[in-house]
Chain A
Amino acid sequence: MQWAILSGIEGNLAAYEAVLQDIRRQHSSVTALYVLGDVIGLKGDNEAVIQRLRSRRNGELEPQVCRGWWEEQCFSLYGLTGLPKAPELMAQFGSDGVKHLWESVSRESVHWLRSLHFGFHELDCLLIHGSTVSYRDELTPDTPAIQLCDRLIRADANTLFCGRSGLAFACWITPYQLRSTVTTLDATQSPIEYGKTPRRIAGVGNVGRTSGKAGYALYRPGTNSIQFKTVTYGAVRDFAVTER
């Protein structure tokens, strides 16, 4: 069993095709394909990417797609969820960004995006765009350790795959010591020692943001190993590093 996990196509069809080609080339076959949100963006052809995700070719895996930050901006523009008029998008990309996103996704495609899940629980993993706290939760190796620990506890998973930061990394968190003592009106309870086995947060990289270079991750549940892939769809050759 091997999963390909990617995020942030951001409308870049060429980058996504390059990743699909790289997936086909793997020695051990990929058995599941997860897309952790941000399939749309400002720079590429959003409709083309959505059509590609929806129309599987012969022998291809069915992509399991969940919502990301960009999809949520789109829902906000259409008044479907959260605050109206996408204030987050406005703050980051101004009215031009708002206008472009509005024009680049058809109503029918918005309807399809709305049918996507928030994330996937598979085996002992959670696959999600941000975290269970929010689609905008951006986890990186520099996020405070206690916050990463909190997100893992909330995720109720041993590995949390996420895509918001666009970074490729694996971060093992071991909460190994904490003594908690609770006193109530009636008594002081005996202290409880907390301490857990290591758990992992993995950023799966970004497919479409950097032109010519697409990143994604391969995960083997059997060996619990993650491999980060960078695919160049230009002159530079591929390279890969395995993390165990």
Chain B
Amino acid sequence: MKLAVMSCIHGNYEALNAVLSDIDAQKADQIYCLGDLVGYGPHPNAVVEMIRSLDIPTCQGCWDEDIVEGLNACECSYPSQLAEKRGHLAHEWTNRAIHPEVREYLASLPMTLRQDNLCFVHGSPNSQHEYLLPSMDGFTALERVLSTEADVLFCGHTHVPYVRDLANGCLQVRVLHPDGVEREHQFSTPLKRIINVGSVGEPRHGRPNATYVLYDTDTAQVVLREVSYDYERTCADIIAKGLPLIFAWRLARGLEFAERADDPSHICQR
């Protein structure tokens, strides 16, 4: 079975259309979406309507959550004061623009999705706000996959796609009890995998192209797809809708509007 997995569309309808056409051409059997349908981009309603009309199983992203619950992310989820101010502008605009039924739909989204040995989340199994970066400590990354009891963990949120194979994981545990009893055991895992599917509508790999991932459940083969689209149209719409001009400038360069946080694994206690 061939899966197409995408994430972080961020109201960019042009990019979503291009990715859906590419998925069609690649003849995928099933599509999954890892959230952040709205925020920053000019067409949040159209994006949600498209995802709903195609009945694509979707988990909730941090932006979807904020639109539902109100902006309550602590400032730690922004990398800079500037990014925070811009994030607030984008949030306020999106909050005004979206239709009630879209908000309801976003509220209904689950945090995680499962299919056999695959697990789908937005950020990490712990939180929609946690970034699983490729540079994260290997054992920490392994813990995230193991906590889901799946073999493959699909995530987004960082806006840069990657595949990370975690092989031959092994830990040794020696327990000492106060009564002097010592116990030793070993723990090892077969190959585990993190697949970050990148971003459809707000790429951050230095090019304006949309990214998503194809996964073959029979062969476990992964293909990172990069799809060009008419980003200038999205940029023009960003400007026409009165969103900050800098969003268009960054989109055209493949620079995310808000960069990642300093301490990516930080989980705020809200």
A–B contact at 8 Å CB threshold (below)? yes
Is A128 in the interface zone, CB < 8 Å from B?
no
Is A168 in the interface zone, CB < 8 Å from B?
yes
Given the complex of chains A and B, what is the CA–CA distance between A185 and B204 in angstroms? 12
In-complex Cβ contact of B171 among A174, A179, A205 (8 A)? A174
Chain B interface residue number, banded: 35 or more
Contact, CB under 8 Å: A171 / B143 = no
Is B166 in the interface zone, CB < 8 Å from A?
yes
- Of the candidate stretches A6-14, A33-41, A90-98, A140-148, the one touching chain B is A140-148
Is A175 in the interface zone, CB < 8 Å from B?
yes
Contact, CB under 8 Å: B180 / A146 = no
Known: A170-B175, A182-B163, A184-B160. A150 touches B224 (CB 8 A): no
Count of chain A residues with Cβ under 8 Å from any Cβ of B? 41
Chain A interface main SS type: strand
**In A144-177, which residues have CB < 8 Å from any B CB?**
144-150, 153-154, 168-177
Is A192 in the interface zone, CB < 8 Å from B?
yes
Contact, CB under 8 Å: A149 / B138 = no
Among A148, A180, A205, A241, find the residue whose CB has the most chain B CB atoms closer than 10 A. Answer: A180
Given the complex of chains A and B, what is the CA–CA distance between A230 and B163 in angstroms? 50
By a CB distance below 8 angstroms, the chain A residues around B172 are 173-174, 176, 198
Contact, CB under 8 Å: A184 / B138 = no
Given the complex of chains A and B, what is the CA–CA distance between A183 and B198 in angstroms? 13
Contact, CB under 8 Å: B139 / A146 = yes
Q: How far is the CB of B167 from chain A (nearest CB, A)?
A: 5
Residue ID in chain A nearest B195 by CB atoms: A183
Known: A171-B173, A185-B161, A185-B226. A180 touches B138 (CB 8 A): yes
Among A144, A175, A179, A243, find the residue whose CB has the most chain B CB atoms closer than 10 A. Answer: A175
Among A168, A174, A184, A205, find the residue whose CB has the most chain B CB atoms closer than 10 A. Answer: A184
Is B243 in the interface zone, CB < 8 Å from A?
no
Among A169, A174, A178, A182, find the residue whose CB has the most chain B CB atoms closer than 10 A. Answer: A178
By a CB distance below 8 angstroms, the chain A residues around B168 are 177-179
Is B147 in the interface zone, CB < 8 Å from A?
yes
Known: A183-B224, A185-B211. A178 touches B176 (CB 8 A): no
Contact, CB under 8 Å: A146 / B162 = no
Contact, CB under 8 Å: A185 / B224 = yes
In-complex Cβ contact of B174 among A144, A146, A171, A181 (8 A)? A171
Interface flags for B192-226 (1: CB within 8 Å of A; 0: not) read 00000010000001000001000000000010101
Q: How far is the CB of B65 from chain A (nearest CB, A)?
A: 16
Q: 6 new A-B pairs (CB below 8 Å) besides A149-B143, A185-B224?
A: A171-B175, A174-B174, A178-B170, A184-B134, A184-B162, A185-B161
Instruction: Give residues in A with beta carbon < 8 Å to B.
Output: 82, 133-134, 141, 144-150, 153-154, 168-185, 192, 194, 196, 198, 205, 215, 228, 230, 241, 243
Instruction: Give residues in B with beta carbon < 8 Å to A.
Output: 134, 137-143, 146-147, 160-180, 183, 185, 187-189, 198, 205, 211, 222, 224, 226, 265, 267, 269
